[in-house]
Amino acid sequence: MRTGFCVFLLCLASPMCRASIFDMIPVVSQMKSLVQVIAGDAEGARQTQENFADFMPVVSQVKSLVHAAADDEDAARRTQQRFLNNMESIADSTPLIGQVKGITHIAVGDEERGVEIIKGATSSTGALIGGVFGGPAGAVVGNVAADGLITAIQSVENGKHSPYGTIDYVANIDKKDPGEHFDVWAGVGMDVGGGVLAKKAAGKTPRKAIDEFGGDLPRGRLDEHFIHQWGPDDMEISLSPRTTLEIARSRVGHLSDMYKKRLELVDFKDVNDVDGMTNCYMCTAAAKKGMSVTELVETYQMSMDQVWRATGMDDIVKIYQRVGYPEAKLAYHGNIRGLYEFLDNNVNHGTKIYALAYDFADKPGHVVLLRAWRESNRYTQTLITDFQKTVPDPSRFRTNLNQPDAKSYYLVDFGNEFGKR
């Protein structure tokens, strides 16, 4: 919704649209009339309010009904025609829609009208692009740059200086009436507001911003929004890592305490900070090292092909060997029954950590981090963390190894890290 509103605001950058938009907005229209009256333009103020009654949705329709009830069908028709014409001018100024509409006019022989529509849409497109990349200042600069480009083109075409939009306003500022001054400066304000929203919309991540904690979630860090999701009452700068971990574990409601106590701070880290959909093996390796994917790639100077395009288990094992696990090897390949038997035979003391890979018949495979250990009852227990998924995703943590549609299972044993024996 925010993205759509910022596009609407930046559409006001078009000089074709400014007067019609501001005349129809409650309060803004009345402010404009007040400015006009103070400046001595009573007729302009009256026209602005007449435009408000004709352009404002609902108000315009009520006015038409009043005319119709008084048997003044011509007045009712004129009001609705003005309303429709105003809506059309807004559409003409909308990026992409305006260009398509202008090209259509040109194609059917209405070249003059088509060119004017394209100019208006291009002006607002400049503001939109500038807002996305440069925020408020970018929106204003983008609008001026687009108007400058249009001015240059039509000046060459006409053989004389032919200013357009903002350029025309500056060049002929002494000839503008109070209403036009209001429209231009209100348009600059709308550019600034739209630029703010456009910049936020372009920079947002799929994770929910933790506004109540002072800003967006830093990528690659602990997901503090998940850990402290019930408010800042238990989020203090002085909290120790142990206290933070205790709070984080308590948030995983679908796991029993036996599994929660196995979770570490890395389990609540935004490991997949590149938002990859095919980099599950990299997410697993990064988590094993306590890093994000970006940190892992930068630390070991890896190429992006290795991040996204491993073609099989041999490639994955080689990547694990490169990132600090030279003894990494494929330890198991088979069905689910054999997987449980392998774990029962190989997990004796402490917790073993593997990369567990699923091979599917009709979709790409998937790699997760598997912890396996023996409880006092001698049964092997398992806990999976899928680091490609976001921390709040309920399927990030699970205890069941079986995937009904998996045709086979692989285990990669990381072995020892460099320097660890």
User: What pLDDT is recorded for position 20?
Assistant: 55
User: In this predicted model, which residue has the larger pLDDT, 105 or 198?
Assistant: 105
User: What pLDDT is recorded for position 86?
Assistant: 73
Estimate to the nearest angstrom the gap between the alpha carbon of 270 and the chain centroid.
Answer: 17
Mean pLDDT (whole number) for 129-146: 67
Helices 28-38 + 42-55 axis angle, to 10: 170
User: What pLDDT is recorded for position 192?
Assistant: 56
Under the banding of pLDDT at 50, 70 and 90, the label for residue 16 is very low
Mean pLDDT (whole number) for 19-44: 79
Domain regions of the chain by residue span: 2-203, 257-413
User: What pLDDT is recorded for position 354?
Assistant: 95
Q: What is the pLDDT of residues 256-266, one digit of tens each?
A: 998 999 999 88
User: What pLDDT is recorded for position 126?
Assistant: 65
Contact of 293 with 273, CB cutoff 8 Å: yes
User: What pLDDT is recorded for position 356?
Assistant: 96
39 burial level (CB within 10 Å; 0-12, 13-18, 19+):
middle
Q: What is the pLDDT of residues 386-412, one digit of tens each?
A: 998 988 888 999 999 998 889 999 999
Q: What is the pLDDT of residues 302-329, one digit of tens each?
A: 876 656 666 789 989 998 998 889 999 9
**361: how many CB neighbours lie within 10 A of its CB?**
8
DSSP track, 100-142: HHHHHHHHTT-HHHHHHHHHHHHHHHHHHHHHHHHHHHHHHHH
CATH architecture label of 257-413: Alpha-Beta Complex (3.90)
Looking at 159-278, list the stretches that DSSP marks H as alpha helix, in order from N- to C-terminal side: 166-171, 178-203, 224-227, 241-251, 257-260
